[in-house]
């Protein structure tokens, strides 16, 4: 493993090789997130550009470290360094090994009151085809709610996951969608009450496509359902305002 470079004997450093492997693993994870579209399980479309940036920098760092793995000094991969590198590699193992998942019904309770006051980064005209971001904007901005109220009874199609409100009638669910501005850490929620469904037919976290008519009631938005169709979790489960 040792070689003579000029007048100096060099050998491959296990410390440098291990660092290169860990940095390379991060690079692989970023490439995988980017190429498979799994970025959107963690980030909004507004910030998704950091993933290819991370992929490039981490890959260059790993390749560079590998190319400069020979050292004139004897470097030993000690206990502390080994565990440090293991900790740095741990998130990569988790992201790659865990099945793709999105936030579900559990988080709604933790973020509900955020959502009550805080959806829609900027004032939004609720004049085009209605979607969940419009609903969130209407629940945040009085002007947007006025615009939505003027459209009461219009048809609407929404995709979201099922949650239930305690004490609600059996034919009613709450259809919820997370709105992510930056990363999942800032996720807020938009919700509509959906009525007129078969009693007890849907369970928490099930994804549905609902069509019906929209009716704003106070700060709440109600949808009288015409149809409810189970759908798989979308590739982009979070919306960006």
Positions 199 through 238 that interact with other proteins (CB under 8 A) = none
Determine if 135 is a binding residue for other proteins (CB under 8 A). Answer: no
What count of other Cβ atoms lies within 10 Å of the Cβ of residue 186?
A: 14
Look at residues 163, 156, 164 and name the one whose alpha carbon lies nearest to residue 223.
Answer: 156
Q: Which spans in the chain are helix H?
A: 14-36, 50-67, 79-97, 105-118, 132-140, 142-149
Question: Segment 164-203, which members bind other proteins (CB under 8 A)?
Answer: 181-186, 188
- Which residue from 12, 35, 37, 110 is in contact with other proteins, where contact means CB under 8 A? 110
The only residue of 3, 83, 155, 203 in contact with other proteins, by rule CB under 8 A: 83
- Measured from the CB of residue 126, what is the shortest distance to other proteins in angstroms? 14
Q: How far is the CB of 217 from other proteins (least distance, A)?
A: 20
Tokens of 96: 């790659």
Q: Please give the torsion angle defined by the CA atoms of residues 31, 34, 35 and 39, in that order, rounded to the nearest 10 degrees.
A: 130
Burial class (CB in 10 A: 0-12, 13-18, 19+), 68: exposed
Per CB under 8 A, which of residues 14..43 are in contact with other proteins?
14, 16, 18-20, 22-23, 26, 30, 33, 39, 41-43
Distance CA 105, CA 161 (A): 8
Q: Does 90 bind other proteins (CB under 8 A)?
A: yes
Question: Smallest distance from the beta carbon of 127 to other proteins, in angstroms?
Answer: 15
Phi, psi of 137 (to 5 degrees): -65, -40
Using the rule CB under 8 A, is 47 a contact of other proteins? yes
In the complex with other proteins, which residue's Cβ is closer, 180 or 214? Answer: 180
Closer residue to other proteins, CB minimum distance, 67 or 170 = 67
Contact by Cβ (8 Å): 233, 207: yes
The one among 11, 32, 107, 195 contacting other proteins by CB under 8 A:
107
How many residues form the binding site for other proteins (CB under 8 A)?
A: 82
Is the CB of 150 or the CB of 182 nearer to other proteins? 182
Task: Give buried/exposed letters for 144-170 (b at 16+ CB in 10 A, else e).
Answer: bbebbeebeeeebebbbbbbeeeeeee
Instruction: By CB under 8 A, name the one of 36, 45, 117, 203 that touches other proteins.
Output: 117
């Amino acid at each position: 493993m040792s070689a003579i470079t000029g007048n100096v004997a060099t050998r491959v450093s296990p410390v440098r090789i291990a660092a290169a492997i860990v940095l390379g693993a991060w690079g692989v994870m970023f490439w995988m997130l980017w190429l498979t579209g799994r970025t959107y399980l963690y980030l909004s479309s507004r910030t998704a550009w950091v993933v290819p940036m991370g992929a490039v920098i981490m890959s260059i760092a790993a390749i560079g470290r590998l190319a400069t793995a020979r050292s004139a000094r004897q470097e030993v991969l000690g206990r502390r360094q080994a565990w440090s590198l293991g900790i740095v590699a741990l998130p990569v193992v988790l992201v790659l090994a865990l099945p793709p998942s999105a936030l579900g019904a559990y988080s709604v309770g933790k973020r509900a009151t955020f959502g009550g006051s805080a959806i829609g980064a900027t004032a939004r005209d609720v004049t085009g085809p209605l979607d969940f971001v419009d609903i969130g904007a209407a629940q945040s901005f009085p002007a947007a709610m006025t615009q939505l109220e003027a459209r009461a009874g219009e048809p609407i199609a929404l995709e979201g996951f099922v949650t239930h409100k305690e004490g609600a009638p059996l034919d009613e669910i709450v259809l919820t969608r997370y709105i992510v501005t930056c990363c999942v850490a800032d996720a807020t929620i938009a919700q509509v009450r959906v009525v007129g469904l078969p009693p007890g037919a849907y369970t928490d976290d099930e994804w549905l496509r609902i069509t019906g008519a929209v009716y704003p009631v106070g700060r709440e938005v109600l949808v009288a359902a015409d149809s409810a169709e189970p759908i798989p979790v979308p590739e982009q489960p979070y919306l960006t305002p």
